[in-house]
Amino acid sequence: MMQRRTVAFSKDSSNLFFHILTKCNLRCKHCYINRDEHGRETLDIGTIKAWLALFLDRAPDTNLIFLGGEPTLHPDLAPAVRAARQMGFSSITIDTNGYLFHDILEKITPEDVDFISFSLDGATPATNDAIRGKGCYDACIAGVKRAVAKGFSTSMIYTVSGANIHELHLMPAMVKDLGIDRFFIQVVGIRGESAGANNDLQVTRERWLETVPLVAEQIAETGITVTWPKVFLNPGEVFECAGIVADNYFVFPNGRVYRCPLCEDYPVHGLEIRDNQLIPTTTLNETAFFKLTIPEGCVMNKLVQPGNITYGPDGRPEQKIACCMLKQEIVPD
């Protein structure tokens, strides 16, 4: 029997999403990086270690994810990973597009990282490469095979949008064949690159619910743990904001530290790193939005991606939008 659950917010654990640079070799249509807001710096290894140390007291309960841009473009990713391991972070993940620059698989071992996570946004080259760029599909698949052959635990992220949801049903067989250990379904965020696009990237509630849970079940039946965002609350479910009840940090090279990923297109970060110290910002910031209660659920969702919300004849929302950090998960026995 498979274990199905909602992954509840918990103060007993935290997630540190650490963007060590914003440079990338790709220009994905739905990339959330906004260099005007996140910076163009590539952090040096000394700064990376100093910033990691700011979270040292929570390290045993913190899942650390190295991100970019493309983190393997950083020449010192390997020593950064080893430093994080020595600091005792609960888990360490590298998020990559699959190109695996600087021979990263030759410089770290499966004992250094818990997961190497690959991003693939289509079951075919035609769909994936239309979103991520020509040749990305083949590079990602080759990268996965190399990592699996070397004994690394691997995960895959598929960001569902109107451009690729039609191929999601093809993924169960593919990830099983590749030897993927975990599969993450994400929902496209209307921020960064996609904020300037038309809203046909967004998926309706009906299509999401008729597609995603079914495919998640099929992937779990192959023996792979699958996680996906709840997105839409059921009637009677209470909205909770991770900015209040959870412990997540989104760190960018310019020193901004957000608690909510939907806020990242704006200078409303609740924390910042200045002179290697983590300090609260004193101007109006994202934390002011976390406590607001609206019929739609998430205030930031209402502000930045209102296409997710539909309204009835009385003008009231037909459903509440869940916090994007609230996940559903199926764990095979």
How many Å from the N-terminal Cα to the C-terminal Cα in the chain?
6
Neighbours of 135 (CB within 10 A): 12
- At 308, list the tokens: 């997710």
Query: Residue 156's Cα: distance from chain center in Å?
Result: 11
The pLDDT-based confidence of 225 (bands split at 50, 70, 90) is: very high
Per domain, the residue ranges of the chain are 3-292+321-331
In angstroms, rounded to a whole number, what is the distance separating the alpha carbons of residues 222 and 219? 5
Helix (H) or strand (E) holding 298: none
Give the Å distances, CA to CA, from 27 to 24, 69, 197, 210. Answer: 7, 10, 14, 30
pLDDT tens readout for residues 239-281: 999 999 999 999 999 999 999 999 999 999 999 999 999 999 9
Helix, strand or coil, per DSSP, at residue 61: helix
CA proximity to 322, closest of 296, 286, 288: 296
Matching CATH number, 3-292+321-331, of 3.20.20.70, 3.30.420.40, 3.40.30.10, 3.40.50.1010: 3.20.20.70
Return the C-alpha torsion angle 107, 109, 112, 118, nearest 10.
90
pTM score of the predicted model: 0.95
Phi, psi dihedrals of residue 268, rounded to the nearest 5°: -120, 25
Say what the pLDDT of residue 214 is.
Answer: 97
The pLDDT-based confidence of 236 (bands split at 50, 70, 90) is: confident
The residue type found at 121 is D
Give the Å distances, CA to CA, from 221 to 10, 29, 216, 262, 330. Answer: 27, 31, 9, 32, 9
Least confident window among 191-195, 282-286, 324-328: 191-195
CA proximity to 205, closest of 183, 225, 177, 235: 235
Say what the pLDDT of residue 199 is.
Answer: 59
Please spell the DSSP secondary structure of 195-231, one letter per residue. Answer: GGS-GGGS--HHHHHHHHHHHHHHHHHTT-EEEEE--
Q: How many residues does the chain have?
A: 333
In angstroms, rounded to a whole number, what is the distance separating the alpha carbons of residues 123 and 167? 6
pLDDT tens readout for residues 41-93: 999 999 999 999 999 999 999 999 999 999 999 999 999 999 999 999 999 99
